């Protein structure tokens, strides 16, 4: 029996004259994700991307699992292909869906007929196929409102397709269709969730992590690498830059204004991130900040942080509370890594009572008293270690 994966387009189906660009990008991503699983033919028609194995060794189970993390795909199904005649559709449905139907008590047939030359209407096809399946599986009953399973039959231009319920896809827009951005990736819960959300909007992601040994440990660094590997099935391969940030951070601690330390440190990080982003072709920065979550994320503090450099800063979590962010972290399987108790540089040297409403004038005055900071930032950016997460 010929089987393939049907990937249904979501938002990109609405892109009008630009739609083909998005479809090509999605298919390129799918081909790259499945490279090591065997030979697959990937093609598109009628707002659907088809992924068909070309040899028996192709791993369909793993391909189906990986495609659920490809952005741009709204839903997926594994389907059997058959000719466009009623008898063959019935035979294929009974064989292909036997295991699914044996495990159900109620079912419903949903028929869609984009090829209007097919001699039966969608309603006729659904009713007649339902009757055949009731004869073949007498333990079943029909429930059109809340069935245990649905049987789909789609009559399309070149073939008919039979499949069970669809599974939800990743949604969003295909990777690389919206440009490239750098995420400031800490070891916490928030920044991986922010990276995932912006990758979902079609951005190619690269990560920038700030390490301050000996104040931060090798295990803290490895924690971030582990987070990057959890993101990679969603984002695709990306670069992770590990910035040696000890000297700038200690200099700010020793020469800055203590109550302004966190904002001064964040501004320094943003300047280093800007340098790396420009050098490696990213057009924006991404952070995991949520408004008023901590002292450095008040509106006044964010205004001061943004003024440190000129790239746009994307904050997809800005209006979320912690429980909403945690739900995303659990979905993308980063939560258990993020809660490991290894400090990153954002949590060291933090003053007991940071100023929550700093002004840009006092921040600039504090930086004017640290003339060596710019050179230390240049050195940190130049010394960043580049890791390939793939």
CB atoms within 10 A of CB 280: 15
**CA separation for the pair 30, 72 (Å, rounded):** 10
Helices (runs of H) and strands (runs of E) counted in the chain:
14, 15
CB atoms within 10 A of CB 278: 15
**CA separation for the pair 129, 123 (Å, rounded):** 10
Exposed / middle / buried, residue 360 (Cβ in 10 Å: 0-12, 13-18, 19+): middle
Tell me the backbone φ, ψ of residue 73, rounded to 5 degrees: -100, 120
Per DSSP, 260 falls in state G
Beta bridge partners of 206: 182
From the annotation, which residues make up the binding site?
184-185, 209-210, 266, 288, 297
From the annotation, which residues make up the binding site for ATP?
184-185, 209-210, 266, 288, 297
Cis before 322? omega within 30? no
Residue 161 near residue 80, CB atoms below 8 Å? yes
Question: Among residues 169, 177, 219, 190, which one has the least CA distance to residue 342?
Answer: 219
Question: Among residues 67, 74, 65, 61, which one has the least CA distance to residue 29?
Answer: 67
């Amino acid at each position: 029996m010929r089987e393939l994966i049907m990937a249904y387009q979501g938002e990109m189906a609405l892109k009008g004259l630009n739609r083909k660009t998005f479809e090509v990008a999605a298919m390129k991503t799918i081909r790259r994700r499945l490279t090591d699983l065997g030979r697959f033919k990937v093609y598109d028609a009628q707002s659907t991307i088809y992924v068909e194995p070309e040899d028996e060794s192709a791993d369909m189970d793993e391909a189906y699992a990986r495609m659920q993390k490809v952005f741009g795909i709204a839903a997926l199904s594994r389907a059997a292909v058959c000719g466009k005649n009623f008898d063959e559709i019935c035979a294929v449905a009974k064989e292909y869906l036997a295991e699914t139907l044996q495990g159900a008590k109620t079912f419903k047939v949903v028929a869609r007929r984009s090829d209007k030359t097919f001699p039966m209407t969608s309603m006729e096809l659904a009713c007649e196929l339902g009757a055949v399946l009731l004869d073949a599986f007498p333990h079943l009953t029909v429930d059109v409102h809340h069935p245990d399973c649905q049987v789909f039959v789609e009559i399309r231009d070149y073939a008919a397709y039979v499949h069970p319920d669809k599974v939800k896809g990743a949604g969003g827009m295909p990777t690389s269709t919206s440009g490239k951005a750098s995420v400031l990736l800490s070891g916490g819960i928030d920044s991986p969730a922010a990276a995932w959300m912006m990758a979902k909007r079609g951005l190619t992601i690269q990560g920038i992590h700030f390490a301050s040994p000996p104040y931060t440990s090798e295990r803290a660094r490895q924690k971030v690498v582990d987070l990057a590997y959890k993101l990679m099935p969603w984002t695709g391969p990306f670069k992770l830059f590990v910035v040696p940030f000890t000297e700038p951070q200690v200099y700010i601690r020793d020469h800055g204004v203590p109550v302004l330390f966190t904002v001064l440190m964040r501004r320094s990080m943003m300047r280093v991130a800007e340098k790396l982003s420009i050098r490696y072709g990213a057009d924006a920065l991404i952070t995991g900040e949520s408004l008023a979550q901590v002292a450095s994320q008040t509106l006044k503090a964010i205004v001061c942080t943004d003024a440190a450099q000129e790239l746009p800063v994307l904050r997809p979590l800005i209006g979320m509370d912690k429980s909403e962010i945690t739900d995303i972290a659990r979905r993308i399987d980063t939560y258990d890594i993020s809660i490991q108790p290894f400090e990153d540089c954002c949590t060291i040297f933090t003053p007991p009572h940071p100023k929550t409403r700093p002004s840009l004038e006092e921040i600039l005055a504090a930086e004017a008293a640290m003339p060596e900071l710019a050179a230390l930032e240049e050195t940190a950016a130049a010394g960043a270690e580049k890791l390939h997460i793939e």
